[in-house]
Amino acid sequence: MDGDELGAARVPDVADSPGSGTPSSVSQGAVLLLAAVVGLVLGWAGARPLSGLAAGNILIWAVAVVALGAITGTAPGKALRLGAFGFVLGFAFMCFGYSGDSALSTRLLPFALIGLFCAVCAIALGALVHVIRSRIGSHD
């Protein structure tokens, strides 16, 4: 079994097709950037205009994880993408929502640790969705 294989065939990237003229690293880099930007925007929105939603934010974030995980790519690429989304989301949410008396710079390390936790959660949710989708797809 190949180390890149997680029990399902790799879906070819659009950039992998002949004549596309775009290396797959560019498209995966663009998707990684998209994931970080989505994390930043949803982190800000969760801390500011959507702060009253409470658990509703978690559902919005979970939908974003599923959507980002559905974009084609390799398993390591998806894990990196979801990890970046989770980290940026958690870190941005904490920074934009911080209103303490101490300077924000004194809170960056704890916020980064929360971001790491959010990254692990996003990767775990993405893996769970992958397992469920592969099991449902195998019964066709």
Of 42, 34, 47, nearest in space to 63 by CA: 42
pTM above 0.75, yes or no: yes
CA 68 to chain CA centroid, Å, is 6
What is the structure's pLDDT at 37? 97
And the tokens for 44? 């800000």
35: how many CB neighbours lie within 10 A of its CB? 28
Tens digit of pLDDT for each residue in 26-75? 588 899 999 999 999 999 999 988 888 888 999 999 999 999 999 888 89
Place of tokens 């870190």: 91
Give yes or no for residue 137 having a pLDDT over 90. no
What is the structure's pLDDT at 25? 54
Under the banding of pLDDT at 50, 70 and 90, the label for residue 134 is confident
Q: For residues 7 and 68, give the distance between their C-alpha atoms in angstroms, rounded to a whole number.
A: 20
